[in-house]
Amino acid sequence: MPDDTFIDLFSGAGGLTFGLQRAGLTPIYALDAWSDAIDTYRLNLPGHTAECGDVADLTANKMKSIIPQRPNWVVGGPPCQGYSTVGKRNRNDQRNRLFEHFRRIVQYLEPDGFVLENVLGLKDMSYEQEVAEAFREIGYRVRFQVASAADHGVPQLRRRVLFVGHREADFKGLDPLLQADQYVSVEQAIGDLPKLQPGESATMYDAPAKSDFQRLMREEMIELQGHTASKHPPHLVEAISHIPDGGNRTSIPDHLQPKSGFHNSYSRLASWLPAVAVTQNMGKPSGTRCIHPKQDRGLTTREGARLQSFPDSFFFTGPSTSQRLQVANAVPPLLAESLGRSLLDPDHWA
């Protein structure tokens, strides 16, 4: 029987599980209410039950029959929309309380430890103490941390809130693997992918990998999945063609200015920096700084997946809007892998 087994509640497409598995932990069960995400999970993480269902229906009786053994860890990212600093925050949003189901399941299964991850909005709203206390009450020593994905080799400035609890030991926290001057840039992340016009697709690489990150993402792959650029109207393509690498809509001439959008809509990623947090609107120039640094279009799903550090062998299923949401929702696998290594390392515990 493997040690360091875990179950993933709110698993989504499996970014968190994938990274933890790469670090050496063993997933034994996953649950998510979204069938597209579970289909993606099953495709990429076979060998154990991944169920499409509501966490509220995971009763004690059901757990007895469906979870094959007491897991060492329970991990999960309850939905983040209610806390998100991108969306509108709302304390009374019912989705903000789903962590209570997570806590109920931890209390029932009594794993050695748990990991609860969420977006940074959680900290802004001072839920930190409330969440930590709720787990202390059921016997866990809780460590809270804000982790920056770029510190762990992800080409993206995304921060996640992590609560790590254990029954017997104190987690010392994640150490950054990289300094800011070593961060992986957008060019190092996606610069090898075939050039596309809006509306075009590519299914094969057409140039060798040029950076260590590109080699890491390609592994042995020869075919590309999800590298399809959305169509944009010609006047929009002309408008964004005026924006330089790393620039914004102030470079668009007045007569071509889009009528709507926020201050960071119609902005190009900077090729020499990590990306800003990837969102589900990555394909639309009106999304949050998601125009390709050198091409006149939004990002493809594969480019978004690369910026989240999903390897090219990780395939997403469902319609493209769904695939993009699965990518954007995920814990970057390299961050999850770094977390997993720390969980397994005795030096990270006191």
Residues of this chain that bind ligand SAM (CB under 6 A): 10-16, 31-34, 37, 54-56, 77, 79-80, 98, 329-331
Choose between 32 and 187: whose C-beta lies nearer to ligand SAM: 32
Choose between 161 and 243: whose C-beta lies nearer to ligand SAM: 161
Q: How far apart are CA 239 and CA 296, in angstroms?
A: 9
Assign 138 to helix, strand or coil: coil
Q: How far apart are CA 153 and CA 309, in angstroms?
A: 8
Q: Which residue has the tokens 């790469």?
A: 22
Which residues have a catalytic role annotated?
80
**Helices 15-23, 333-344: crossing angle, 10 deg rounding:** 40
Q: How far is the CB of 246 from ligand SAM (least distance, A)?
A: 28
93 contact partners, CB below 8 Å, separation of at least 6 = 81, 82
Q: How far apart are CA 333 and CA 310, in angstroms?
A: 6
Choose between 122 and 239: whose C-beta lies nearer to ligand SAM: 122
Choose between 51 and 238: whose C-beta lies nearer to ligand SAM: 51
Q: How far is the CB of 118 from ligand SAM (least distance, A)?
A: 8
Q: How far is the CB of 99 from ligand SAM (least distance, A)?
A: 11
Determine if residue 345 is left, alpha or beta; phi over 0 gives left, psi from -120 to 50 gives alpha, anything else beta.
beta
Compute CA 11 distance to the chain's CA centroid, rounded to the nearest angstrom.
11
Q: How far is the CB of 321 from ligand SAM (least distance, A)?
A: 14
Q: How far is the CB of 127 from ligand SAM (least distance, A)?
A: 16
- Encoding tokens for residue 175? 């150490």
Cα angle 161-166-171, degrees, rounded to a multiple of 5: 60
Choose between 117 and 296: whose C-beta lies nearer to ligand SAM: 117
Q: How far apart are CA 299 and CA 305, in angstroms?
A: 10
- Using alpha carbons, select from 96, 68, 74, 97 the residue that is nearest to residue 9: 74
Which one-letter amino acid corresponds to residue 6?
A: F
Q: How far is the CB of 12 from ligand SAM (least distance, A)?
A: 3
In this structure, the strands spanning 159-166 and 113-119 are antiparallel
Choose between 74 and 229: whose C-beta lies nearer to ligand SAM: 74
